[in-house]
Amino acid sequence: MIWLWMAVLAAVAIAPLLVVWVRQGTIRYRRETAMALHRSQLEEIDRDREEGRLPDEEYQAARLEVERRLLAADRIPEPEANRAARGVMIATLVAIPVAAVALFIPSGLPLVPSEPHASVIRQRDAAEARDNALIERLRQKLASLQPGSEEARRGYLLLGQALVSQNKLAPAVKAWKVALSMKFDPTLAAETAEAASEAAGHVTPDAAALFRKALAAAPANAPWRPLAEQRLREAAVLESNGGKPLLPGKAAGARSGS
């Protein structure tokens, strides 16, 4: 598509010049300039006479001379336009976009990503492959650990964090729930409930239960407490709506009303 637009812009740019090159014409600057000068002299002579600076005899003589020159200027031959020169100009202007395209093609086609962008994609894919390999090794390690041990709990915590970094929220919630089953931590419970809410697009009943349990066990100054309380208010509005997620505008109105 970009090639089409490039061609259209090039055609629009050179169209006026092509029209001039194709159309027959003459150069009118010499004759018209001389005639405009003599007409201006006639106007000046008339003005001098009206203001009393030019006697009638001198006025008639001067006007007659200027009119003679005006007639002579009207007979100045107009040479034909130099079509060869115009052709060279048109050819040069046409060659400029052609040369630009020829120089552009080797460095990067519009349909091919540029080298920096391709490099970023390769680096991202390589990093994702490394993360997937680490997650797989961590899963294998967890399978060999004693269930319920502190080492296994830390392993599930790391697994959940790795999955969240890849935006794989649902698997991360499962990993963190396993860690919570081994040892309850209110902060981890709140993070798990938040991840579950983001994965579902709304506060699920399980997430609401986790938020309540986390609030009951957390200190009063827990930094995530306002967010958990806000999520519980959203869950209450959702429950009053029959479990159907509200539209963004309605949800905002319900929260402001609470």
pLDDT more than 90, % of the chain: 30
Instruction: Indicate yes or no: pTM above 0.95.
Output: no
pLDDT score of 176 more than 90: yes
Per-residue pLDDT tens digits for 20-56: 656 555 445 677 777 788 788 888 888 888 888 888 8
User: Long-range contacts for 16-23 (Cβ within 8 Å, ≥24 apart)?
Assistant: 17/89, 17/90, 17/93, 18/90, 20/86, 21/83, 21/86, 21/87, 21/90
Which domains can be identified in the chain, with CATH numbers?
Answer: 2-107 (no CATH), 115-257 (1.25.40.10)
Residues 134-146 have a mean pLDDT of 89
User: Long-range contacts for 207-216 (Cβ within 8 Å, ≥24 apart)?
Assistant: 207/231, 207/235, 208/232, 208/235, 211/235, 213/184, 213/186, 213/189, 214/186, 214/187, 214/189, 214/190, 215/186
Q: Comparing 14-23, 141-150, 183-192, which segment has the lowest mean pLDDT? A: 14-23
pLDDT score of 67 more than 50: yes
Residues 235 and 218 sit within 8 Å (Cβ to Cβ): no
Angstrom distance (rounded) from CA 166 to CA 179: 19
